[in-house]
Amino acid sequence: MGTPLREPTPAQVPSRPQLDDTALMTAIAARDQAAFARLYDRHSASTYALAYRLLGERDAAEGVVEAVFLALWHTPGDFAPLQGNVRAQLLTRVRRRACRIRAVR
């Protein structure tokens, strides 16, 4: 009888290549939900931290982050590589949206 099958150890499993933000944005433009999830996982903490620091309210900060990422999903072409890196564009959009909310209060 052969050797019993067992799960590979993490060292034996090839890792998925780490895509940079530009490659993820290209995939998002092609409606790749996994790429969107990876970009969200990569940048959601920093965008939330900024929104919370500016607004001081959890719900408001979450709403700002949600709106910015939804805009990215619906109109990925608005996040142009010539306007700076994706992280900087996300943070700028969060800051602008949070400042508009603060101005209305």
- Encode pLDDT of 37-56 as tens digits: 999 999 999 999 999 999 99
User: Would you say residue 11 has pLDDT above 80?
Assistant: no
Structure confidence at residue 72 (pLDDT):
96
pTM, two decimals, is 0.80
- Identity of the residue numbered 15: S
What CA–CA distances, in Å, run from 54 to 64, 65, 70, 71? Answer: 11, 12, 20, 20
Between 18 and 98, the more confident residue is 98
Tell me what percent of the residues of the chain surpass a pLDDT of 90. Answer: 70
Q: Class of the 20-104 domain?
A: mainly alpha
Q: What is the pLDDT of residues 27-41, one digit of tens each?
A: 999 999 999 999 999
